[in-house]
């Protein structure tokens, strides 16, 4: 069973991988039918992990499952709960829950002495005086973030106490609008300078196999943290890469994660690798399309093979690859993204996928959490990949019109 959130980009790639493995697939989603051509699909309330797990277990009685895999973050807890009850390969549900809650993650990493940013908690109702004292004690600059959101939504850097107070107010409003509970706290973390990498791995019996490490060539210094370029293999020094891998393994053990995909983000600073995040899922969006292993199998193929206990073959990544996540520069209504053919003519660029249709409302960070689309490139070296993606970005032209304010109705209407 594949658990597919309605807004996920990932379903087609997982379904293609399942076909390559010769699997019979049932798709579980909040809304049914899910996708044309996917075969059987059922409605599963992914927003309520416990109810979703109960529905999956009930379905297993009629159609036994060999594996339950969440294609995106929203389904990970439901998948873990259901798989645990059915005796299938999975992470402990409490470990997955901790990975989805940034505060719970910080507490567990702190207890295990895993390197991470110094942090404090801003509870709802905390006054300005207490927040100012918190900022003084933690140190500036700092980063304010909701505990339950992803995609850098609501994540804001502050360099002054006044900026931190404003960031708390704005981040809390973003979390509330995104459906966070009224009692949900915010995290305030000391900003860690230095290069950031994204690590893609696969856990088996608690041991981490690193599949790829992506550089993020554009500095992520704020005030918002919009990711644009991912390039692999990483050009960090071998010692720094070893630190990032070691910190990620330690973080997985601290959280109790033991099986399946892991996506981690680390910053290297002053001879240490600081864990920014660890998620019990693979890389988001369409970014996984940069990764082709061995004779050309996908990351999704590896994930499904692992869930079934099958050997997926070589994990080698030939050459260099990368992805441009096309940013949303301003909020409004998307008119068009032009220049795609020009981008495709650039040597090394292999694909352009615009994932938001014209006429749709788009929202910039920190309120938003999506990208306009993705550009993919392959070449002999990371430097050539990065150059190709930067050239592609310069050719793509995004037209956005402001949202029209509603005119008030005249009296009597």
**Per-residue model confidence (pLDDT) at position 36:** 45
Other CB atoms closer than 10 Å to residue 357's CB: what's the count? 7
Cβ(148)–Cβ(104) under 8 Å?
no
Cβ(258)–Cβ(265) under 8 Å?
no
Taking each helix axis as running N to C, give the angle between helix 128-138 and helix 161-177, from 0 to 180 degrees, rounded to the nearest 10. 110
Helix or strand or coil: residue 126?
coil
DSSP for residue 22:
T
Q: How far is 45 from 270, CA to CA, in rounded Å?
A: 45
**Per-residue model confidence (pLDDT) at position 324:** 98
Question: Could you read off the pLDDT of 173-197 as tens digits, one per residue?
Answer: 999 999 898 899 999 999 999 999 9
Stated pTM of the model: 0.92
Cβ(277)–Cβ(265) under 8 Å?
yes
**Per-residue model confidence (pLDDT) at position 386:** 98
Residues 6+ apart with CB under 8 A from 233: 212, 213, 317, 320, 382
Give the tokens for residue 253.
Answer: 């053990």
Give the tokens for residue 300.
Answer: 């999704």
**Per-residue model confidence (pLDDT) at position 32:** 59
**Per-residue model confidence (pLDDT) at position 269:** 93
Q: How far is 308 from 210, CA to CA, in rounded Å?
A: 19
In order of their start, the domains of the chain are: 2-97 (3.40.50.20), 118-190 (3.30.1490.20), 319-405 (3.30.470.20)
- When computed from its CA atoms, the radius of gyration of the chain, rounded to whole angstroms, is 22
Would you mind telling me the total number of residues written for the chain in this entry?
413
Phi–psi pair at 136, nearest 5 degrees? -65, -40
pLDDT averages per 10-residue partition of the chain, 413 residues:
86 93 93 57 92 96 95 94 97 97 97 97 93 94 95 95 96 94 94 97 97 97 95 97 98 98 96 96 94 94 96 91 96 97 98 96 94 97 98 97 62 42
Other CB atoms closer than 10 Å to residue 181's CB: what's the count? 10
**Per-residue model confidence (pLDDT) at position 40:** 81
């Amino acid at each position: 069973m594949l658990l597919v959130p309605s807004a996920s980009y990932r379903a087609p790639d997982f379904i293609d991988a399942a076909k390559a493995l010769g699997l019979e697939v049932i798709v579980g989603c909040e809304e049914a039918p899910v996708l044309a051509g996917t075969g059987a699909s059922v409605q599963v309330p992914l927003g309520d992990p416990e109810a979703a797990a109960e529905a999956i277990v009930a379905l297993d009685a009629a159609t036994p499952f060999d594996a339950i895999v969440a294609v995106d973050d929203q389904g990970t807890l439901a998948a873990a709960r259901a798989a645990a009850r059915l005796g299938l390969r999975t992470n402990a549900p409490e470990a997955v829950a901790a990975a989805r809650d940034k505060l719970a993650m910080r507490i567990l990493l702190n207890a295990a002495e895993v390197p991470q940013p110094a942090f404090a908690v801003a509870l709802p109702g905390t006054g300005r005086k207490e927040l100012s004292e918190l900022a003084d004690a933690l140190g500036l600059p700092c980063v304010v973030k909701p505990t339950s959101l992803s995609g850098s939504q609501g994540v804001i850097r502050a360099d002054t106490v006044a900026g931190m107070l404003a960031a708390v107010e704005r981040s809390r409003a973003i979390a509330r609008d995104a459906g966070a509970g009224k009692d949900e706290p915010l995290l305030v973390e000391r900003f860690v300078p230095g290069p950031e990498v994204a690590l893609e791995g696969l856990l088996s019996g608690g041991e981490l196999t690193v599949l790829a490490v992506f550089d993020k060539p554009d500095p992520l210094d704020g005030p918002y943290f919009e990711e644009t370029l991912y390039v692999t293999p990483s050009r960090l020094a071998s010692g720094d890469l070893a630190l990032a891998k070691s910190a990620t393994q330690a973080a997985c053990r601290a959280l109790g994660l033991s099986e399946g995909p892991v996506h981690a983000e680390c910053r290297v600073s002053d001879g240490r690798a600081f864990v920014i995040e660890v998620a019990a899922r693979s890389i988001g969006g369409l970014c996984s399309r940069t990764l082709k292993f061995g004779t050309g199998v996908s990351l999704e193929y590896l994930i499904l093979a692992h869930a079934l206990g099958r050997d997926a073959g070589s994990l080698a990544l030939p050459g260099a690859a990368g992805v441009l996540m096309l940013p949303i520069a301003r909020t409004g209504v998307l008119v068009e993204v032009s220049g795609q053919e020009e981008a495709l003519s650039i040597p090394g660029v292999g694909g352009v996928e615009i994932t938001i249709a014209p006429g749709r409302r788009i929202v910039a960070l920190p309120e938003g959490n999506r990208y306009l689309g993705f550009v993919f490139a392959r070449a002999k070296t990371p430097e050539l990949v990065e150059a190709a993606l930067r050239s592609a970005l310069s050719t793509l032209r995004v037209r956005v019109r402001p949202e029209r304010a509603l005119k008030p109705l005249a009296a009597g209407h």
